[in-house]
Chain A
Amino acid sequence: MPIESVFPRLEALLPHVQKPIQYVGGELNSTVKDWDECQVRWSLMYPDAYEVGLPNQGVMILYEVLNEREGVLAERTYSVWPDLEKLMREHEVPQFTVDAHRPVGAFDFFGLSFSTELGYTNMLTALDLAGIPLESADRGIDHPVVVAGGHAAFNPEPIADFIDCAVIGDGEQAVLEMTEIARVWKAEGRPGGRDELLLRLAKTGGVYVPRFYDVEYLADGRIARVVPNRSGVPWRVSKHTVMDLDEWPYPKQPLVPLAETVHERMSVEIFRGCTRGCRFCQAGMITRPVRERSITGIGEMVDKGLESTGFEEVGLLSLSSADHSEIADVAKGLADRYTEDKIGLSLPSTRVDAFNIDLANELTRNGRRSGLTFAPEGGSERIRKVINKMVSEEDLIRTVATAYGNGWRQVKLYFMCGLPTETDEDVLQIADMATRVIAKGREVSGANDIRCTVSIGGFVPKPHTPFQWAPQLSSAETDARLEKLRDRIRGDKKYGRSIGFRYHDGKPGIVEGLLSRGDRRIGDVIRAVYEAGGRFDGWREYFSYDLWMESAAKTLPAHGVDVDWYTTRERSYEEALPWDHLDSGLDKDWLWEDWQDALDETEVEDCRWTPCFDCGVCPQMDTEIQIGPTGRKLLPLTVTTPSADGNAPA
């Protein structure tokens, strides 16, 4: 049955909304496939505004991987802003994809990628606009299967009622596997209805279907256990890990939007995973082990990507890009190749050492040296041992001295507030560090106009990390501590004016903490917030702390728990955690030992250059570290693109 485009109806609304271009699609490298020629159809959503969602690499990769398959189509959808939402409700226009403007409700799968928990209310808006019942239990055979992915899906319990399933880890192979299962089930005439499809997915061991698990609680509100209620469904659901990134060079043809978005560049993921072992970092813990893309693989992706997009900047992405085994050759090779073309290179550089400065110098060889960013994360030597961020103040000062000496004018330093065992003193030392940075900078550069910006946010304990048991600092205490730091910096007559101070108040962190370590009972809170109009919680102008707290106060007492119980309460070794049945590969006992080491201020090395320290991931997931060096180099490119002056071969 052909599916009609909703565009004609949408078009009439567009003159009345802000930035209509974000809703019309037509991006360069986007794909529209014939509906009837495909047996399995996905709509993929990044549950935030288009300007944030479009550049998301996860969605772009899956979009391409799926569309490359014959008989499979994938289209994208993003959150619509409240101005359009209102009009869509008035005129009964459903949630649509931007590719062919097909209604999201008509697809087989509706996949959402959650980088953060703050997209949950936007998911409910999209479901409702799509005409899909909010709760999984109310959906019928013709509704799409709602799939959650992304880092937040490693604890999908707060949204367990709203999703049909969750997939944790790398999505590339997982979506193809799910597609095949759906294709077979549809070809057989959809036996057993929706339940059967979900069961077949669950039986793979890599798809979590919340309805097949019962949660039992203790009298004090803690979880007693989580048990499968169907035979054939695994006790623990495994994460997916893609090995050999060179075999997965996606996105090959990155989307180029007409609308302005947050990242206007061609991004290449140079490796996945990180084993530095920062204890607060969920991304590092859940993406182990490290798997590098080879230097030649990177070179090829950059070359093809630039050709198909026309972007002027290349971002070399990963959790800690300077750690790539051949990063110096990558940076030099790319800078050499693209000197002529005025292509800028960037890499999120957070490591604090002299090597990073060399790298930054290489990357900005032809451009301006504005700001360098480092993330010491903790203000005192002691707290950095607690979080396993191995950098000494001496290292930092030496590094910034090199930076200022090389012509950089501004250094940004990132910190967290509210780390386990932290005291006011740990945080106030940030001010001392910043003044030393400025003093050293003035000394080596001989200039007075250098700057240092301190940026600090509240720490939120995350599942699958050693800090999953830790108490979160209350927002009042966070704010008080940050104010003391601000006063200390501002009060410094000699250096204060050279130090910028940016901080986020503690309130959003409490909501994030509630959602991060929540369980199924948090679903009521999310729903109440959505029904009271909560949207776009990642946006300062929309986020309402009060709305979240009121909704929690309305719904949680029935369960005998409250917000503090989820956030500022410390968990014990015995407690069953809501995400224990989602297997990230990390051994829970190893995590607990690492938590104890944190409290003892004991550091742990990186397994890339020391023997394996048995975090559990590799044996559990049957994976291994994949790193170079390959010893290869990037050779200069020969021109093969057709050029307008007709001089080059076409």
Chain B
Amino acid sequence: MVQRVRLRYTKRGRLRFTSHRDFQRAFERALRRAAVPMAYSAGFSPHPKVSYANAAPTGTASEAEYLEIGLARHCDPHRLRELLDLSMPTGLDIVDAVEADTSGFADRLLASCWELRLDGVGTEEAEEAVRRFLAADSVEVQRQTKKGVRTFDARAAVASLECVDAGHELGSDGPAQQPCAILRLVVRHLTPAVRPDDVLSGLRATADLAPPVPVSVTRLAQGPLDEETGTVTDPLAPDRDATLVATVPGSTA
């Protein structure tokens, strides 16, 4: 292996229903189609060197998923991104690439910023629910896991939660006559992991908030958490050269 490249990719629109396994298969095929000179693991059945970080759950859209690949020959990250993006289905878009100069990338993914779109819920109702949620010291929620139902606190991991006005929303389509509250959520990556779904369960527990249709959830960013401003910052920043490569920040399908 002579070079490592870190990539940011998205899960947009209907392809948000892609599971992580599905994504892996699609990505490894794209590597072949784009003839990327991959480094392979040693051993009886060699695998291309790809490591994935903290993937968003199936059904959740994302603007900020990350992975790293190991290459057997040097490549220009910009060209690599372009070729890979062309080889992936639209919606699973490769939007950023930097040569890895640092280690411990996964440790930099400390928090996520999520957008939750609550169709059929009015802004006032949502604001009230948020107030109550934030006022609580802890909010017990339950989640069905493979090992049975698990109970844990969904409040402590939440760094911030607010109602943003509909003008700021991401990927809005169609007229906004229907009430639709948009929440912006920043969650620290703790164990057990608190997901947007858990926060929604928390809103239901504290304020009886029950959206009539499934909430659409999008990860906007993940990376280090700036405790002062409360924002999630770019985890690729330490790797980035002075020359910025091929970024399409916040673009949508």
Given contacts A310-B33, A312-B32, contact A644 B17 (CB under 8 A): no
Using an 8 Å CB-CB cutoff, how does the interface string of B72-98 with A read, 1 for contact, 0 for none?
A: 011110011001100101111000000
Which residues of A (7-55) have their CB < 8 Å from a CB of B?
A: 7, 11-12, 14-16, 19-21, 23-28
- Distance in Å: Cβ of A621 to nearest Cβ of chain B: 40
B148 within 8 A of A: no
Minimal Cβ-Cβ distance residue in B for A29 = B89
Across the interface, A645 reaches (CB within 8 A) one of B23, B29, B44, B74, namely: B74
Determine if B44 and A646 form an interchain contact, defined as CB atoms under 8 angstroms apart: no
A25 touching B14 in the complex, CB below 8 Å, given contacts A264-B25, A646-B75: yes
Rounded to whole angstroms, the CA-CA distance of A16 and B31 in the bound complex is 32
Question: Within 8 Å CB of A264, what residues of B?
Answer: 25
Judge whether A26 and B89 touch: CB under 8 Å. Answer: yes
**CB of B166 within 8 A of chain A?**
no
Of A252-260, A287-295, A432-440, A514-522, the one touching chain B: A252-260
**A312 vs B83: C-alpha distance in the bound complex, in angstroms?**
19
Chain B interface size range: 35 or more
Using an 8 Å CB-CB cutoff, how does the interface string of A242-265 with B read, 1 for contact, 0 for none? 000000000000001011100010
A641 at the interface (CB under 8 A from B): yes
Q: B-facing mask of A299-328, CB < 8 A → 1, else 0?
A: 000000011111110000000000000000
Does A648 make an interface contact (CB < 8 A)? yes
CB <8 Å contact, A644 and B80 = yes
The residue from B33, B46, B71 contacting A307, defined by CB atoms under 8 A apart:
B33
Given contacts A644-B79, A645-B75, whether A260 and B14 have CB atoms under 8 Å apart is: no
Contacts of B80 in A (CB 8 A): 644
Task: For the complex, give the distance between the alpha carbons of A368 and B37 in Å.
Answer: 24
Q: Are A310 and B29 in contact (CB under 8 A)?
A: yes
Residue of A258, A311, A644 near B36 (CB, 8 A) is A644
Q: Which residue of B lies closest to A101 (CB)?
A: B14
- A368:B36 contact, CB within 8 angstroms: no
On whether the beta carbons of B31 and A645 are closer than 8 Å, the reply is: no
Task: Write the chain A residue with the least CB distance to B17.
Answer: A20
- Per-residue contact bits, chain A 206-240, to B (CB 8 Å; 1 contact, 0 not): 00000000000000000000000000000000000
Q: Which residues of B contact A312 (CB under 8 A)?
A: 29, 32
B44 touches A368 (CB 8 A): yes
The residue of chain A having its C-beta at the shortest distance from the C-beta of B216 within the complex is A11
**Within the assembled complex, what's the spacing in Å between the Cα atoms of A358 and B64?**
50
Chain B residues with Cβ below 8 Å from A645 are: 37, 71, 73-75
Contact A646 B76 (CB under 8 A): yes
Task: Please tell me if B34 contacts chain A, counting CB pairs below 8 Å.
Answer: yes
B33:A308 contact, CB within 8 angstroms = yes
B32 touches A310 (CB 8 A): yes
- Whether B35 contacts A641 by the Cβ 8 Å rule is yes
- Given the known interface contacts A15-B214, A256-B29, the answer about A643 and B37 at a Cβ–Cβ threshold of 8 Å is yes
B89 touches A644 (CB 8 A): no
- Verify B59–A14 contact, CB threshold 8 A: yes
A264–B46 alpha-carbon span in the complex (Å): 18
B15 at the interface (CB under 8 A from A): yes
Chain B residues with CB under 8 A of A308: 33
Question: Which residues on A sit within 8 Å (CB–CB) of B74?
Answer: 645
Is there contact, CB below 8 Å, between A24 and B14? yes
- Interface SS of chain A: loop
Q: A7 to chain B: which residues have CB within 8 Å?
A: 14
A639: chain B residues at CB < 8 Å are 35
Query: Nearest Cβ distance between residue B115 and chain A, in whole angstroms?
Result: 16
Q: Is the CB of B15 within 8 A of A26?
A: yes
CA–CA, A311 and B214, complex, Å: 35
A644 with B213: in contact, given A14-B17, A21-B19, A258-B22 (CB under 8 Å)? Answer: no
Q: Which of chain A's residues have a CB closer than 8 A to the CB of B22? A: 21, 258-260
Q: How far is the CB of A88 from chain B (nearest CB, A)?
A: 15
Judged by a CB distance under 8 angstroms, whether A559 is at the interface is: no
The residue of chain B having its C-beta at the shortest distance from the C-beta of A308 within the complex is B33
Tell me, in angstroms, the Cα distance from A307 to B32 when the chains sit together: 8
Task: Give chain B residues whose Cβ lies under 8 Å from the Cβ of A258.
Answer: 15, 18, 22-23, 25-26, 89, 92
Cβ distance B29 to chain A, nearest Cβ, rounded Å: 3
A557 contacts B by Cβ under 8 Å? no
Report the separation of the CA atoms of residues A19 and B71 in the bound assembly, to the nearest whole angstrom. 33
Chain A residues with CB under 8 Å of B83's CB are 642, 644
* A27 CA / B90 CA spacing, docked (Å): 9
State A341–B31 Cα separation when bound (angstroms): 12
A398 to B227, CA, bound (A): 74
**Residue of A24, A311, A639, A644 with most partner-chain B CB within 10 A:** A644
Residues of A612-650 whose CB lies within 8 A of B: 639, 641-648
A24 proximity list for chain B (CB < 8 A)? 14-15, 17
Chain B residues with CB under 8 A of A16: 214
Asked if A342 CB lies within 8 Å of chain B CBs, one says yes
> In the bound complex, do residue B18 and residue A644 qualify as a contact, i.e. CB atoms below 8 Å apart?
no
A644 touching B29 in the complex, CB below 8 Å, given contacts A25-B14, A26-B14: no
Given contacts A258-B22, A310-B29, A645-B73, contact A11 B14 (CB under 8 A): yes
- CB-CB under 8 A from B45, the residues of chain A are 368
Q: Give the distance to chain B from A308, nearest Cβ to Cβ, in Å.
A: 7
Q: Return chain B residues, CB-CB under 8 Å to A23.
A: 17
Partner of A642, one of B21, B32, B35, B58: B35
B30 at the interface (CB under 8 A from A): yes
Task: Please name all residues of chain A whose beta carbon is closer than 8 Å to the beta carbon of B36 when the two chains form the complex.
Answer: 643-644
Q: Is the CB of B44 within 8 A of A644?
A: no
Separation of A19 and B17 alpha carbons in the complex (Å): 8
Q: Give the shortest distance, in Å, between A300 (CB) and chain B (any CB).
A: 18
Assess whether A26 is in contact with B75, with CB atoms less than 8 Å apart.
no
Q: Tell which of B34, B35, B37 has the most Cβ of chain A within 10 Å.
A: B35
Collect the chain B residues with CB atoms within 8 Å of residue A14's CB.
Answer: 17, 59
Within the complex, what minimum Cβ distance (angstroms) separates A409 from chain B?
A: 14
B44 neighbours in A (Cβ, 8 Å):
368
Given A264-B25, A646-B76, verify A310-B90 contact (CB < 8 Å).
no
* Interchain CA distance A306-B87 in the complex, whole Å: 13
**Interfacial chain B residues near A646, Cβ < 8 Å:** 75-76, 79
Are A260 and B59 neighbours in the complex by a CB distance under 8 Å?
no
Contacts of B14 in A (CB 8 A): 7, 11, 24-26
| Bitwise interface map of B from 34 to 63 toward A, beta carbon under 8 Å scored 1, else 0 | 111100000011100000000000110000
Cα of A15 to Cα of B58 in the assembled complex, Å: 9
Contact among B23, B25, B75, B92 with A644 in the assembled complex (CB-CB below 8 Å)? B75
The 8 A CB mask of A353-370 against B (1 = contact, 0 = none) is: 000000000000000100
Instruction: Tell whether, in the assembled complex, residue B29 and residue A309 are in contact, meaning their CB atoms are under 8 Å apart.
Output: yes
Tell me the minimal C-beta distance from A22 to chain B in angstroms: 9
Closest to A309 in B: B29
Query: Complex Cα distance A342/B87, Å?
Result: 19
**Using Cβ atoms and an 8 Å threshold, which residues of chain A touch B58?**
20-21
Name the distance in Å between B176's Cβ and chain A's nearest Cβ: 15
CB distance from B13 to the nearest CB of A (A): 8
**8 smallest A-B Cβ distances: which pairs?**
A310-B29, A310-B32, A310-B33, A643-B35, A20-B17, A24-B14, A15-B214, A644-B36
Q: What is A's interface to B at a CB cutoff of 8 Å?
A: 7, 11-12, 14-16, 19-21, 23-28, 256, 258-260, 264, 306-312, 341-342, 368, 639, 641-648
Q: List 13 A-B contacts (CB under 8 A).
A: A21-B17, A26-B14, A27-B89, A258-B15, A258-B25, A258-B26, A306-B32, A309-B33, A310-B87, A368-B44, A643-B37, A644-B35, A644-B37
With A311-B32, A645-B74 given, can you name 6 additional A-B contacts, CB distance below 8 Å? A21-B22, A260-B21, A310-B31, A368-B45, A644-B79, A646-B75
B positions within 8 Å CB-CB of A: 14-15, 17-19, 21-23, 25-26, 28-37, 44-46, 58-59, 71, 73-76, 79-80, 83-84, 87, 89-92, 213-214
